[in-house]
Amino acid sequence: MKLGMIDYGRGNLRSVINACSSLGYDPVLITKPDELAEMTHLIFPGQGAFGDCMESLHRLGLAEPLREWISAGKPYFGICVGYQLLFEASEESPGTAGLGVVAGTVRRFTGNGVKVPHMGWNAANLEKADSPFWAGFDDSPYFYFVHSFYPTGVDPELVAVTCDYGDESFCAAIEKGKLLATQFHPEKSQHAGLKLLGNFLGS
């Protein structure tokens, strides 16, 4: 296998690289479409605003190649904004279209009495516990979150994880075939995060 990591100039690369290295994988940074050709697995690390990240992808010529990669069913792991960009749009950046490979809109938390951003450890309610990605997990592992927005209108068939925050329950991860994308940060989630990354990289 050959692991690529999207480098769009804004992502939390170092901690994700370190997590992959601890599992025995050396990711190749991807900044051009032709660099995807030799890759078998792809990680999109998350940090930054929805609109800024989409602008970077278009500038680098990576938006359409990413759509094609995902449509072809190749292994893709999106983290935080790498998850949100899969959807059609976000309230964070009105007028900016996402990759649109998954139906839904990313919205800001509006529940009463909750702090925004949602930051810290929270339980993940597994909806696809029989999936190879979640092998070895109990029903409610804890992961680390840092976000103010989350996707709504997600196809229930794609929902892999839900999470409760205040009076809201939101979709915290999606899965379809070789596609896995999470709102939480596995690279900051210690043992559980490394297990999930390892399951993806071994797929």
Active site residue 187: yes
pLDDT at 47 (0 to 100): 81
| Bond from prior residue into 33 cis (ω within 30 degrees of 0) | no
Catalytic site residue from 53, 147, 175, 187: 187
pLDDT at 11 (0 to 100): 64
The answer to whether residues 92 and 109 touch, using CB atoms and an 8 Å cutoff, is no
The order of strands in the sheet holding 179-182 is: 28-30, 3-6, 41-44, 76-79, 179-182, 168-176, 159-165, 125-126
pLDDT at 27 (0 to 100): 96
CA–CA distances in Å: residue 37 to residues 34, 41, 94, 107, 162: 6, 11, 33, 34, 34
Catalytic site residue from 20, 53, 80, 171: 80
Strands 76-79 and 41-44: parallel
Q: What is the pLDDT along the chain (203 residues), one digit of tens a residue?
A: 999 999 988 767 899 999 999 999 999 999 999 999 999 999 999 788 999 999 999 999 999 999 999 999 999 999 999 999 999 999 999 999 999 999 999 999 987 778 999 999 999 999 998 999 999 998 889 999 999 999 999 999 999 999 999 888 999 999 999 999 999 999 999 999 999 999 999 98
CA distance 119 to 91: 19
The CATH number of 3-107+149-156+173-201 is which of 3.30.1330.10, 3.40.50.880, 3.40.630.10, 3.30.365.10? Answer: 3.40.50.880
What are the sequence ranges of the domains in the chain? Answer: 3-107+149-156+173-201
* Token pair for 186: 């596995």
Catalytic site residue from 41, 118, 147, 185: 185
* Token pair for 131: 């999936």
